[in-house]
Amino acid sequence: MPTGGGKSICYQVPALMMEGVCIVVSPLIALMRDQVENLKKRGIAAIAITSGMHRNEIDIALDNCVHGKIKFLYLSPERLTNDLARTRISLMNVCLFAIDEAHCISQWGFDFRPSYLRIAEVIALKPNVPVLALTATATKQVQDDIAKQLGFVNYKLFRKSFERKNLSYLVYGDDDKLKRMLNIFNHTSGTAIVYVRSRKKQKKFQSTSMQAELKLTTITQG
């Protein structure tokens, strides 16, 4: 399903209808915190175990999941490789495994975050618990790889169009890209994100006369 298409509802609602804790595997702390905050606002017990927590905090959080005080437990794939987490999960009454951003299994698992390839080991601790993998980015090859890495045999694939009707995609060919960009900004309201190929180009962009006409915030990565 597309971004913003309601993938979280696909595991949140079923989990609320079942007894036990739903374990959600998510790649980013910010995503986990956002989900937990939204659930708590609705009076639903949820917790995310992140790298910023002390061991004692983690111990208490996992205990609460074992004793049924937490409905949604958010973990990173790296946390699943931890013996403490695995031992406690084996003691939990798990109703559902939800793998969010599941394309990361295929796109990150082989080099960037190999822990993604070990998710199946944790699923095997609870062989009768259903597993749901969700993504907004999956070619046929990635879909097949997700299924293979998670050990899916007889599985159902539900696929919706990736089209987002609130977005439009336009491609321009122009010798003066900065001028074209300024023209677009001057005729479009709201905030914009500009991607450039290198830091050198980013600095060139900042040094142009556009800086006097636009309110710029620069974000670099790496």
**Per-residue pLDDT tens over the stretch 123-177:** 999 999 999 999 887 888 888 889 998 999 888 988 877 677 777 778 888 888 8
> What is the model's pLDDT at position 202?
73
Q: Which of 149, 179, 197 is the last residue of a domain?
A: 149
Q: 108 and 195: one domain?
A: no
Which phi and psi (to 5°) does residue 148 adopt? -65, -45
In this structure, the answer to whether residues 143 and 176 fall within a common structural domain is no
Residue 2 lies in a domain: no
Strands, E, within the chain: which ranges?
21-25, 46-48, 72-75, 94-99, 131-133
Output the CA–CA distances (angstroms, integers) from residue 217 to 191, 192, 209, 220, in the order listed.
11, 10, 15, 10
Q: Is residue 165 part of a domain?
A: no
User: And the tokens for 149?
Assistant: 């890495």
Please give the Cα distance from 97 to 122 (Å, whole number): 10
Domain, as residue range, for 179:
170-222
Residues 178 and 70 in one domain: no
Question: What CA–CA distance (Å, rounded) separates 153 from 12?
Answer: 24
Looking at the structure, do residues 136 and 207 belong to the same domain, yes or no? no
Structural domain count, the chain: 2
Please count the other Cβ atoms lying within 10 Å of the Cβ belonging to residue 119. Answer: 23
Q: Is the pLDDT of residue 218 over 80?
A: no
- As a whole-number percent, the residues of the chain with pLDDT over 70 amount to 87
Q: Is 132 a domain residue?
A: yes
Instruction: State the Cα–Cα distance between residues 169 and 139, nearest whole angstrom.
Output: 20
Position 158 in a domain? no
Identify whether 161 is part of a domain.
no
169 or 211, greater pLDDT: 169
12 and 114 inside one domain: yes
Taking all residues of the chain, what is their mean pLDDT, rounded to a whole number? 84
220 and 136 inside one domain: no
Phi, psi of 19 (to 5 degrees): -80, 140
Q: Does 157 fall in a domain?
A: no
Residue that terminates a domain, selected from 100, 117, 149: 149
